[in-house]
């Protein structure tokens, strides 16, 4: 039985490590949109973090298949691992689009959305750290994650409306519409993470 204890704890370690990867990727995206020189190298650095995150996801699944007793339901472990992986995937996709679409300079709306993502990822990380002890204080962080997702929704609508009014080049409209929607999808995936954790904490209460 004693051998099972570190295996149980390790799942929480992995979730926290993955959250740190997300914070790292978000910081790199923040740097990318504010200092766009050497954009390709910065996007590649985000891709490297995403690859490291994939390794954590694979390890969670591997341990899930070899651990007899888990600290929370197996389906919840798998679901949370998948949702965290999704956040990293969308962060990497947003960075890649900025490079592949040959963007000359990020817009103020793009930077504003990354600011929202940065704040939301920090709130999500605080929520993940509540999981180890099933801290009911998680609710406060979940509310903040949700508030910031709503803010990103509003920014998306405002940015698209302004662009359709002001941008005469339809190709630029297509490029930025997809970039804005990908950034907003990051906030949706962060909200998914918060919803999974909330479900786990309510179940274990």
* Token pair 């790292």 in the structure block, residue: 24
> Is residue 196's pLDDT more than 60?
yes
> Is residue 4's pLDDT more than 60?
no
CB 117 within 8 A of CB 179: no
Digit-coded pLDDT (tens) for 45-97: 999 999 999 999 999 999 998 888 888 999 999 999 999 999 999 999 999 99
Digit-coded pLDDT (tens) for 11-42: 999 999 999 999 999 999 999 999 999 999 99
CA quadruple 132, 79, 146, 35: dihedral sign? positive
The structure's pTM equals: 0.94
CB 151 within 8 A of CB 82: no
Cα–Cα distance measured from residue 35 to residue 37, given in angstroms and rounded to the nearest whole number: 6
Digit-coded pLDDT (tens) for 150-189: 999 999 999 999 999 998 999 999 999 999 999 999 999 9
Residue 67: what pLDDT? 84
> Is residue 148's pLDDT more than 80?
yes
Q: What is the torsion angle, in degrees rounded to the nearest 10, for the CA atoms of residue 56, residue 58, residue 64 and residue 67? A: -80
Residue 146: what pLDDT? 98
> Is residue 2's pLDDT more than 50?
no
> Is residue 1's pLDDT more than 60?
no
Domain count across the chain? 1
CATH number at residue 50: 1.20.58.220
Three-state SS at 69 = coil
Domain containing 19 equals 4-204
């Amino acid at each position: 039985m004693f051998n099972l204890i570190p295996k149980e704890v390790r799942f929480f370690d992995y979730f926290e490590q993955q959250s740190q990867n997300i914070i790292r990727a978000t910081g790199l995206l923040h740097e990318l949109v504010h200092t766009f020189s050497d954009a390709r190298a910065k996007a590649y650095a985000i891709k490297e973090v995403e690859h490291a995150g994939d390794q954590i996801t694979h390890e969670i699944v591997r341990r899930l298949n070899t651990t007899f007793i888990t600290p929370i339901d197996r389906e919840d472990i798998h679901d949370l691992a998948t949702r965290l992986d999704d956040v990293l995937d969308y962060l990497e996709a947003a960075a890649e689009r900025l490079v592949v679409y040959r963007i000359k300079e990020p817009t103020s709306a793009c930077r504003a959305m990354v600011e929202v993502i940065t704040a939301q990822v920090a709130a999500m990380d605080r929520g993940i750290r509540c999981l180890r002890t099933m801290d009911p204080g998680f609710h406060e962080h979940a509310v903040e994650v949700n508030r910031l997702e709503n803010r990103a929704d509003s920014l998306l609508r405002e940015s698209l409306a302004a662009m359709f009014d002001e941008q005469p080049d339809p190709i630029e409209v297509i490029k930025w519409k997809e970039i804005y929607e990908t950034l907003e999808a990051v906030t949706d995936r962060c909200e998914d993470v918060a919803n999974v954790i909330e479900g786990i904490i309510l179940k274990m209460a």
